[in-house]
Structures are given as C-alpha cells and as structure tokens.
Amino acid sequence: MAFWIVAIAIATSGSGCRLVQRRGPVAPEVAEARRLSNEGLSAADRSDLVRAESLLERAVKSCPVDVDARRHYAEVLWRRGERMEAVAQVNEALRLSPADARLCVEGGEMYLEMGLFGDADRLAREAVRLAPRSAAAWHLRGRVSLARGQAEPALADFHRALAIDGADRGVLIDTAEAYRRLDRPQRALATLAILRETYGPDETPADVLMLEALAQEALDRPAEAAESYRAAIARGNAPAEAAERLAALEQATLAAAPAAGGPRR
C-alpha cells in the first residue's frame, strides 16, 4: 500500500521519476533502477562491494523514489563502513515509505550499533506499532532495552518475539543473556539448550558456548563451565575472556586439590 501512495504522490506532483502504475508498462527510469539494483545485489553477493556500491548509487540516481534501491544501497554502504551515509539512505527511504516496518527495523539496528539508543528506540517502537506481529520489531526493541541495561523490559520483548518465532537464534541468545543479567542462570541454561538444538553436532557457536559457561559458573559447576570454555576456545573466535576464565577455573581446581605426596593420616 505504501508503494502505491508514493506512486500516486509522485504522479500528481509532476516531479521526480514516474513509478510503476497499477496498469500499463513500467517506466524506463524504474526499469533501469531495477536492472542496476539487481546487478548491484549480484556484485554484493560476490563480495564485490565497490562495484555493488557504484551500481546501487546509479540505481538511486536513476529513480530517486525507488525505496528498494535505497534500501539495498544502504545495506552495501553499511557493509563498506560508510555508516552515516547508510543511515541517510535509510532515512530517505523511510521518508518515501513511512509505513515500512522492515525499514524501521533496519534503520534501528544501524542506530543501535552506532550507540544512538534514542534513535534506535524511536524506530523500534515505530516498527512495533506498524507490525505488532513482527518478531524482528520486538527483538529490536528488546535489544535497545538490553543495551541500556534494562534487562527486565528487554526480556519481556524477547518473549513477545519468541511467541511469534520460537526458533529465532538471535532472539534466543539475547533471551539467555537477559536471564544471565537478571541472575537467573538456570533459565539462561534452559534457553541455551533450546538454542543448541538448532545446530548440528559440533556447530554450536563460540558466543553460545561462552554464555553457557558463564551460567554454569553462576550455578557453581566449575567442571561443566571449564568444558564449555574449552569448547568455545576450540571454535577459534571466542572472546579473550573465555581463556581468562578458564585459566582461573583451572588454577582454583589445582589450589583445591591436595598436594601430591603430602602427609597421610
């Protein structure tokens, strides 16, 4: 619906390129923008981000009111590290299509990663308002709360997201993190157990294993925690904290063990 609202507005204003109408052929500007966008996406899939950026920039210039072209352009700009320009493209796309909940989520995620929590929260709330059955919208709102240190409201939003999509890995790991911050390690482990079921043997990521180890430590299970830390380190991309905590556990275990060859009673 938003697409047609924009199309009518452009047609009646007499400015900008003409979007696809309900009947009749596609306008040349739109066809060119689509062609360039498709080529740009293909280049992005090949990780040729320089060419992808160039093609998508041309697509946007060919038809400035093409929301999808701006969306894809923003994604590539973000991957290229051009964050402010990426956000500018998302904001322009939202100006053209203000009822696009997906765009709100994408923009909110960018703001969240940039540490602009106020803007991220604004777009997250708008996404929830526009699409209350969107797991991504509730997840984003929860992530903003978690980033602000508000684990309780974050957990409530994560549960709303899981009610919509109970197998979403991102929501599950954030739910476990919220439980951990609320000092509820048993619930964190139960959530991580569900998450583990979505992976094949020996495919559980390091960040999941790390959370598992932290929860086991909180439950005073040093042997299980050490095993999880070792598994996380074996993945090759575990945070440095994993090695540090494993070393501390091993040192504590050695200190608690009786000295070899000590006096017997």
In the block, residue with structure tokens 């929590």:
117
Amino acid at 6: V
- Distance of alpha carbon 204 from alpha carbon 202, whole angstroms: 6
Question: What is the DSSP-derived secondary structure letter of residue 33?
Answer: H
- 99 three-state secondary structure: coil
Can you give the residue ranges of every domain in the chain?
A: 1-99
Residue 21, pLDDT score: 39
- Distance of alpha carbon 238 from alpha carbon 12, whole angstroms: 56
- Taking Cα atoms as reference points, which of 1, 25, 21 lies closest to residue 12? 21
Q: Which CATH class is domain 1-99?
A: mainly alpha
Asked if 108 contacts 120 with a C-beta cutoff of 8 angstroms, the reply is yes
In terms of Cβ atoms closer than 10 Å to its own Cβ (0-12, 13-18, 19+), residue 228 is: buried
Dihedral class, residue 122 (left if φ above 0, else alpha if ψ from -120 to 50, else beta): alpha
Residue 2, pLDDT score: 37
Residue 259, pLDDT score: 53
Dihedral class, residue 238 (left if φ above 0, else alpha if ψ from -120 to 50, else beta): beta
- Distance of alpha carbon 200 from alpha carbon 63, whole angstroms: 45
Low-confidence ranges of the chain (pLDDT < 50): 1-23, 260, 264-265
Amino acid at 30: V
Share in percent of the chain as helix, strand, coil (round to 5): 75, 0, 25
pTM of the model: 0.83
In the block, residue with structure tokens 């790390």:
210
Return the exposure string of 139-176: e unless at least 16 CB atoms fall within 10 Å of the residue's CB, then b. bbbbbbbbeeeebeebbebbebbbebbeebeebbbbbb
